[in-house]
Each structure stands twice: as structure tokens, then as C-alpha cells.
């Protein structure tokens, strides 16, 4: 069995993104280990293994928090959209950091157990009926398994093999992983804290995730409710710029990119068939819009990639009511041609007054 897919190509933006991410992880670990020993109780006589386990565990939680904040932040403000770029590498790095944390735990706390380390880990706490002694390790194990599954299936091969809808639903595991990490931390680690600095940081991080998701959901809900009828408003005629798009969000959550090209409007899905990249951020050249993420191109009139490529995205119908451009929420099958809608002719300019014969100023 084989799957035809086009892997993501490296480019300068990806190198910069990953370099910034790695530098951020290294800086966090260094600050945690060496600059905040008193604040985080590292001035107490703990071993290097415990200190490292704390650092990598805290780093994994922070990285997971940032990942879950990027999505709603980008929905609330387009200036955060570049952070979505290459977020899968962010997730893979988080899985490695969490795995390192688990390794330090296993090889220190349970290295001297008379039984197998994994067995010792599972039997360390077994009081299911009370908070003290609750097996919080189970939540950590579950979260780690989720992160490893997400990292293993982040490659383009699995996106193509599973299809984008299935792949996207599988990657909702990120939310299950985050809730498990929150339970792991609150039921276990925070119980032994001598000071509450990390407790406050944990609450701020978890609160940011909840608040951002609620804010994004409420905003999109109010925008959908404000729209009248089946047709959704996109923008006023005068707001369009030739070669660029305006993006509209439909009541079902899908986004549509409406382009102005040589005085005519066309609409296609905002999600690239490759990795759901934001097509609406691309510029049109010769009827083709280029995905800003990985360079895939589509004809905005029919949603088809130029030959020999075969990718297709859905198209949409448009109409102009007054000076408002509207899009119908029912998507056409991917690759369906839709006749572009011309912009209305501007009203003729009034002719200058001609003075009558013999009239004087």
C-alpha cells in the first residue's frame, strides 16, 4: 500500500520559527534551573535529577499552554496568524520535552524499586477515594501517550493517509492531553509545594487557555448571529483591493476567501487542501492564488490547482446587494467552476456646467 503525498519543504521561515522555538525552550530551562532556585524552592537540598524533572515538566506544561493559546488568539486577532505557521513542530518538541520529564521521573524516583520501574510508578499512589495519594501519575501517562500519538501523526504522510477531516479530529487529542496534564499537576505536584509561585503560574496559564477559547467562541457566535438570512455578508464593495481577498466566517464555522481580480469577484474555501493553510492571505497572480504556507496554488474561479497538480478546494456563489458583497454558505463540490461576479460600474461623473452664450462670470 502506498500513499501519494507532497511533503512540506523547508524554507527560511521554518528555520527561523524552529530556531526561535528551540531558543525559547533552552532559555526557559536555564531560567528555571539557575535563575529562580529560591523562588521555586531549588535552594533546598534536592538532587539534580529532581530539579531537571521539575524543569522539563514545567516547560512541557508551558509549551502546551502556548500551543492551545495560539489558535483562539489568531481567531481574535489576525496579527497572531503567523504563530499558526509550523505549529506541528511546536507539538513535536513538546512531546520530546514531556518524554524527557518522564524519563527523569522513572530513572530517579523508581530506579531503586525492587520491582519494575513502570510497575512501581503505577503502584506508587493507589488511593482512588481521596486526594492525598490519588494516582495522579495515570493522568501524566495518558497525556504523554496523547502527545506521542500527535507527534507521530504530525507528518504529511498521515495527513494524506487519514484525510484532513479525520486527521483534524484525531488531533483534538491535544485538548484531552491538556486536561490530563492539568489534573496531573493539580492532584500531584501542587500538593507538595512549599511555596505557591508555581501554583500561581499554573493557574494563570490554565486560565489564559480557558479565557481565550471562550472569548473566541463568543465572538464568532455573535458574528454569526448578527448575519441576516442564509447569505453571509463579506465586506462592502469599496473595501476590496485588486489581487487580494476578504475572509468571511460562515455560521457552520467554515471560512471563505473572496477575491477581487480585475474587477470581478470569486470565492473559494480559505483552507488549502494541503494542510488547511490560510489561502485568503495569498495574493492572486494570473488567476492563481498561492498558499502562503507551502506554495500550493489554486484558480480562484474553479478551486483547481494548475496541471499537473490535482488538488481542489470548494468554491462558493457570490452576489452583491446594494454595496455589500454576500456569499452563500453552501459550498460547491471542490473544483466547481463559478462565473465571477463583476463589480458594479461606478456612477458616471456629472458633466461640468457649460455657460450659456453671452453669459458672463
Measured CA to CA, the distance from residue 189 to residue 201 in angstroms comes to 13
Containing H/E element for 247? strand 245-249
Highest mean pLDDT among 3-17, 97-111, 113-127: 97-111
Of 189 and 149, more confident? 149
pLDDT of residue 151: 92
Asked whether the CA dihedral 310, 316, 317, 321 is positive or negative, the reply is negative
Confidence at 46, pLDDT banded by 50, 70, 90: low
pLDDT of residue 74: 86
pLDDT above 60 for 18: yes
pLDDT above 60 for 103: yes
Measured CA to CA, the distance from residue 113 to residue 121 in angstroms comes to 9
Residue 253 dihedral angles phi and psi, to the nearest 5°: 100, -15
Q: Which of 210, 260, 216 is nearest to 238 (CA)?
A: 260
Q: Which of 188, 83, 94 is nearest to 146 (CA)?
A: 94
- The answer for residues whose C-beta is within 8 angstroms of residue 256's C-beta and 6 or more apart is 232, 234, 247, 248, 249, 250, 267, 268, 269, 270, 316, 327
- pLDDT (tens digit, 9 = 90+) per residue, 163-186? 777 888 888 999 999 999 988 888
- The answer for residues whose C-beta is within 8 angstroms of residue 293's C-beta and 6 or more apart is 85, 272, 274, 275, 277, 278
* Sheet (strand 288-290) strand order: 284-285, 288-290, 297-299
Amino acid at each position: 500500500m502506498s500513499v501519494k503525498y507532497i511533503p512540506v519543504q523547508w524554507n527560511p521561515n521554518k528555520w527561523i520559527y524552529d530556531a526561535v522555538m528551540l531558543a525559547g525552550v533552552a532559555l526557559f530551562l536555564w531560567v528555571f534551573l539557575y535563575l529562580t532556585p529560591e523562588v521555586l524552592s531549588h535552594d533546598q537540598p534536592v538532587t539534580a535529577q529532581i530539579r531537571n524533572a521539575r524543569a522539563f515538566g514545567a516547560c512541557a506544561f508551558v509549551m502546551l499552554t502556548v500551543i492551545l493559546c495560539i489558535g483562539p488568539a489568531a481567531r481574535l486577532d489576525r496579527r497572531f496568524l503567523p504563530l499558526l505557521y509550523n505549529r506541528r513542530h511546536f507539538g513535536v518538541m513538546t512531546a520530546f520535552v514531556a518524554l524527557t520529564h518522564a524519563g527523569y521521573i522513572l530513572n530517579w524516583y523508581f530506579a531503586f524499586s525492587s520491582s519494575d520501574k513502570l510497575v512501581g510508578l503505577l503502584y506508587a499512589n493507589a488511593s482512588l477515594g481521596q486526594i492525598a495519594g490519588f494516582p495522579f501519575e495515570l493522568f501524566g501517562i495518558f497525556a504523554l501517550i496523547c502527545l506521542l500519538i500527535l507527534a507521530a501523526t504530525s507528518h504529511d504522510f498521515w495527513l494524506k493517509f487519514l484525510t484532513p477531516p479525520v486527521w483534524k479530529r484525531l488531533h483534538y487529542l491535544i485538548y484531552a492531553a491538556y486536561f490530563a496534564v492539568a489534573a496531573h499537576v493539580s492532584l500531584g505536584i501542587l500538593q507538595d509545594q512549599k511555596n505557591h509561585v508555581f501554583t500561581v503560574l499554573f493557574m494563570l496559564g490554565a486560565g489564559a487557555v480557558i479565557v481565550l477559547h471562550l472569548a473566541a467562541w463568543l465572538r464568532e457566535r455573535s458574528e454569526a448571529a448578527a448575519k441576516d438570512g442564509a447569505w453571509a455578508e463579506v465586506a462592502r464593495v469599496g473595501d476590496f483591493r485588486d489581487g487580494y481577498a476578504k475572509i468571511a466566517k460562515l455560521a457552520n464555522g467554515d471560512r471563505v476567501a473572496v477575491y477581487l481580480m480585475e474587477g470581478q469577484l470569486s470565492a473559494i474555501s480559505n483552507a488549502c487542501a494541503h494542510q488547511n493553510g490560510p489561502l485568503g492571505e495569498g495574493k492572486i497572480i494570473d488567476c492563481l492564488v498561492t498558499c502562503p504556507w507551502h506554495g500550493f496554488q489554486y484558480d480562484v474561479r474553479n478551486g483547481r490547482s494548475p496541471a499537473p497538480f490535482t488538488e481542489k478546494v470548494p468554491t462558493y456563489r457570490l452576489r452583491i446587494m446594494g454595496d455589500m458583497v454576500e456569499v452563500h454558505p453552501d459550498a460547491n463540490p471542490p473544483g466547481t467552476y463559478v462565473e465571477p461576479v463583476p463589480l458594479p460600474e461606478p456612477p458616471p461623473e456629472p458633466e461640468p456646467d457649460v455657460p450659456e452664450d453671452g453669459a458672463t462670470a
